[in-house]
Copies of this chain bind each other. A is one copy, B any other.
């Protein structure tokens, strides 16, 4: 057989770690603090049922739904993005600057198609979202990590790495970052946009968690401060509507959008119509506001439970992030505890049976960086299971420290 292309062999091994967890996650006894999926209770099942019934029966929109659609996406849904999602954040986007895509992840793919040549450098947060790294590596980009603190990417380190590596792109998840739960501060947002403009670097802002903020003050997207069109904003409907609908959007300047049109056409013609119609109606009928309130209340309670449980049961010397939104927190255990080894025991031992994601895989640097860290999700787990899971996990960690 012909050899696979180089991009396939450089795909991040780390992504496989997450995938391997999927098997164990089907065990009903396991308390999974590993996945990143929204809570089943946070899915608007009843609204979707009603909308589908209406759209297909009363409004008879079947022919429109089943025929070819628009490359840019359903105009109604693009309008939702402009008026309901970006407008209230103080962003005046034009309808022509919005494209509906097949889940948030497709943005990384399309933007790479536009800009990335083999060998190009992309600066990413350290730690960062492994599936994006996997895409970047598929395009044979070199990913270099930039250090973070509790205010997100450290700009001194960013500047240093720009000087050394001359990146084509900076990839940032500014709000309730995956995996760390951290949020980029206001000053750094402003400065990051300016760095993109000054140094002629694309800023790819991936912001799927921003709309599920349940405490702390709202922060504007990096894109708000972009005066030159260097920042491209990607977002997803997975966390605020439904992940199974595979819907996301890109907000970019007209010049970039014209090329994105070509790339999207070539990739898959357009995003499926039916999920777009349903999602647009979900907003148009005013269902989003109360739904949003409901999921924020749900996740806030889980975050509070999680943080309290970690403080109660994890050993002294543990550092944890307090996320003001999103679905997970990030824990650094005292040095010497290897979370990759810990995970195996935590999943395998019948009196523990708790899953999380080990930290190492989120660092492109490798070399054991983050080997005492872990991403712990609380989004899809009821509070009493969160407490029980953290109690068991804390017990195992305490045992390891003896």
Residue ranges of A at the interface with B (Cβ–Cβ < 8 Å): 1-2, 4-8, 11, 15, 19, 37-38, 40, 43-46, 48-49, 52-53, 56-57, 60, 62-69, 102-103, 105-106, 109, 113-118, 131, 134-135, 138, 168-169, 200-202, 228-230, 238, 242-247, 255, 259, 262-263, 265-275, 278
Please determine whether B117 and A6 come into contact, CB atoms closer than 8 angstroms. yes
Known contacts: A1-B200, A8-B263, A115-B4. The answer to whether A66 contacts B242 by CB under 8 A is: yes
The 7 closest A-B pairs by CB, nearest first: A45-B62, A66-B242, A244-B273, A49-B56, A43-B66, A246-B272, A68-B243
In the complex, what's the smallest C-beta–C-beta distance from A256 to chain B, in angstroms? 8
Known contacts: A45-B62, A49-B57. The answer to whether A274 contacts B270 by CB under 8 A is: no
A116–B8 CA distance with the chains assembled, in angstroms: 10
Query: Secondary structure of the A side of the interface?
Result: helix
Q: Closest B-chain residue to A116, C-beta based?
A: B5
Q: Closest B-chain residue to A246, C-beta based?
A: B272
Please determine whether A67 and B53 come into contact, CB atoms closer than 8 angstroms. no
Q: Closest B-chain residue to A201, C-beta based?
A: B2
In the complex, what's the smallest C-beta–C-beta distance from A294 to chain B, in angstroms? 15
A40–B247 CA distance with the chains assembled, in angstroms: 25
Among the listed B15, B56, B268, which residue makes an inter-chain contact with A109, where contact means beta carbons less than 8 Å apart? B268
Known contacts: A1-B229, A40-B67, A62-B43. The answer to whether A131 contacts B265 by CB under 8 A is: yes
A246–B246 CA distance with the chains assembled, in angstroms: 12
Please determine whether A114 and B268 come into contact, CB atoms closer than 8 angstroms. no
A169–B272 CA distance with the chains assembled, in angstroms: 29
Q: Which residues of B contact A273 (CB under 8 A)?
A: 244-246
